[in-house]
Structures are given as structure tokens and as C-alpha cells.
Structure 1
Amino acid sequence: MAPDAPPALAVAALAARVEAAAAERDGRFLLGIAGSPGGGKTTLAAAVVAALNERRGGGAAALPMDGFHLANASLDRLDRRERKGALDTFDGWGFLALLRRVREETDHTVYAPSFRREVDEGVAGEIAIQPAARIVVVEGNYLLVEDEPWGRVRGALDEVWFCETPSAEREARLIDRHTRGGRTPEAAAAWAREVDGVNAVMIEATRSRADLIVSGTTGEVLVGD
């Protein structure tokens, strides 16, 4: 079960907050939304981008980190396929380089990879960050991790929120996601606990580095100004 978008009023308040922060900076504004697997960060990011585009008549874009999953062939070669989604199963340096391009290259379209769950692989160049995108909302699990090169990601973003959702709700969403992806209910539950759950321990420990902690269900600001 995919998470429902937070209530419209809460999302509108978050969008207004982003607009105000972006107005204080020159150039393109990069907002990060971090959080654990199943926490609702993708849904929250999409809702905030949609609200910004309604308010601004365009000018906001979403950029997920998931396009930087290593290819399954690479994971097989590295013997990491059974931990797909862990920190070392992403191209962190490539992701960081893209963030720098998005920041600096505002006179032409910057293309970014997406991730397709139906094929469990990244798709090169599917996301287009147009020159008109004044605000880019970047979402992913590891935006606040301090290990190299991820520790440099925080500095490449203007502001980072942490999307917080109770662990039981996250696990239920993950089991449903993995079941719909073709795993048996037993295998889906095992992956949610033994792979996603292990990753979540690392990710939840990074929440103190966020500027705001936002509820992944209500959209309310839980911690922050």
C-alpha cells in the first residue's frame, strides 16, 4: 500500500516554507527530503513539488536518489545483490556529481536517471530538470549520512528535512511493496526486516542532522523552526 499524500493544508504550508527559503538565496534552491524505506519521503516530495508548481505556475522539480542504484549485474559481481538498498549499493559519487550539475547548470536541461520498480533497475536520462526549475526537491534514504562521499551531499543541498513515520507503518508498507514486486509474503517480510530494517537503523540515526523533522503521514513539522 503506497502511503497517502499528507493533507493539502499541511503540504501547502510546507510549500510556502520552501518558497520563503528559496527567496532568500540566489540561483537554484535544492531541498533534500531524507527518510527510511517506506517512510513516505517520495510521496511527500511529490506532494510538495505539486503544491509548489500550483503556487508558482511551474518551476519546481523532483529528483529521487533511487536512480543511482547500482545495476543488478554490478551488484551480482560485487556480491551485494541480496543487500540491494544498502548504502554501498548506490553510486554515491555519481549522485553527488549530479547534485553539483543541477546546482550549477541552469542554462540547459540536466537529465537524471530514474528507478523503475517493475524492472528493478535504473533508467538513464528519464528525469529532465528544466532551466525553469528554480526549486529542486531531492529525496532519498542517505542524504544525511556522514560516510564518504555521502557526507558531502548535505553540503550540496540548501536545506534537508527528515520524513518520519512509525516503524510498524513503514514495515507494513514495505511488505506490501515487496509482495507486489513479486516476492512471497514470507520473503517480503524477511526483506523488510532483514534488509530494509537494517538500513533504517543507520538512516534513523541521521535525523539529528536535518533542519526539520516532518511527519510522513500528517505533513506536520515535528521538530524545527
Structure 2
Amino acid sequence: MTLAELAARATALRAARGRRVLIGIVGAPGAGKSWTSERLAEVLGASAVVVPMDGFHLAQVELERLGRADRKGAPDTFDVGGLAALLRRIREETDAVVYAPAFVRAIEEPIAGAIPVPPDAGIVLVEGNYLHLDAWAPVGACLDEVWFLEVPDGLRADRLHARHESFGRTPEAARDWVASVDEPNAVAIAAQRDRADLVVRLRP
């Protein structure tokens, strides 16, 4: 599919619902969820806004308290209830700005109130790894559709290695993190791929 085709589907979904729609953009780590969501929002124009799941990372201090800092990014290192509550607000409160948090990779922490969802945002693209999982059902219940991004595993791995190295990990540490954290998460995500409403293999 192309971005133009995805934009047409999103626009048609909004028209059919007659209200603001929330579309989940999911996939394994390195699948290109952020890039696809941002480019799709550009195609859709001012009617679209991107809300990333990553804004609901637990803070580093809390991950350390829980003993989960060594697998940051796993399903249980997010505030799932907080994300679901925000999505319910976004669906229901369409007469005022609703603010969403962002995740800043330079400091590896979420920042509250960073992303405004204005009243005229008719399409909200919610991007993240786990939106379609059974364990995240309160989140999935807020979405009108879920689109699963599928890319070759080799390409995903290359992207992940480059990402981790760009944020200070050595090549060896990047490989270890991908093998011990990212890939187990990818397996869990792929296992529920069939729950998605659409499987997307982007082409130019």
C-alpha cells in the first residue's frame, strides 16, 4: 500500500463514523511506526495528529524501583491504564484541546503535556508496539481500527542496531539489547498480528 491509499482509508473511516476516529499503527520494534504515522499525518493535513504510545513509558526511576529497567520497552514497562484513559478523553472531549505526553529519546523519559490534540483533529493516529495485544484490551477498545506494519526482519534489525548506537550504545551492546529485549517483544507482537484490521506493507 501507499501513504495515499492509507490516507484515503482513514478519511473514509472518519466519514463513515461521522466523528473523530482513532487508528492504531502497530508493529514490531523497528517496523517504522513513527515514520509512517508522521508521514501519513502530513498527507492527511491539519485534520490529523499523532499520539505515540511511548509517551506512557514509566519513568526511569520507577523502572529501577520495579526492577524492569534492563528491559525498558517491554509491555509491562508502560502505564497502560493511563494511555487508555487518555484515548477515552480524546474520543469524548472534542470541544477542547486534550494534551498527550511525548517520549524524548535524548533523555529517555516521557514529557507530559507535549502534544496538543485540537478540537478539529478528526483523525488521531495512535502509534505503538502493543496496542492490539489481549493484555492491552482497554487500549484496543478505544481504537476504531488497528493497522499492522510488516517489514522484513533483517531490515528491522538493521534499523534497531543503528537506533541504539545513535543513542550511545556500543555495537555489541546494541546487538545484545536487540536480541534480549527487542526481539522477544517482536515475537509477542507478531503472535497477535491477525487481530489487526489491516496488514500494511508500504511501497513508494
Q: TM-score normalized by structure 1? A: 0.89
Tell me whether 1:94 sits opposite 2:82 in the alignment: yes
Stretches of structure 2 that go unaligned for 5 or more consecutive residues are none
| C-alpha displacement of 1:42 | 1.0
Matches within 5 A, 1:42-191: 42-53=34-45, 58-147=46-135, 150-191=136-177
Amino acid at match of 1:19: T
| C-alpha displacement of 1:26 | 2.4
Moved over 4 A (4+): none
Given candidates 182, 186, 190, the residue that maps to 1:196 is 182
Tell me whether 1:218 sits opposite 2:188 in the alignment: no
| C-alpha displacement of 1:213 | 0.3
Separation (CA, whole Å) in 1 of partners of 2:2 and 2:30? 20
Q: Percent identity?
A: 52
Secondary structure at 1:108 match in 2: coil
The structure richer in helix per residue is 2
Separation (CA, whole Å) in 1 of partners of 2:190 and 2:119? 34
| C-alpha displacement of 1:185 | 0.4
Amino acid at match of 2:164: H
Separation (CA, whole Å) in 1 of partners of 2:157 and 2:177? 10
- Superimposed CA distance per residue, residues 52-100 of structure 1 (whole angstroms, 9 cap, x where no aligned partner): 10xxxx2111110000000000000000000100000000000000000
- Alignment coverage as a number of residue pairs: 204
- Contact 1:171 1:193 (8 Å CA) reproduced: no
Stretches of structure 1 that go unaligned for 5 or more consecutive residues are 1-8, 220-225
Q: TM-score normalized by structure 2? A: 0.97
Aligned CA-pair RMSD? 1.1
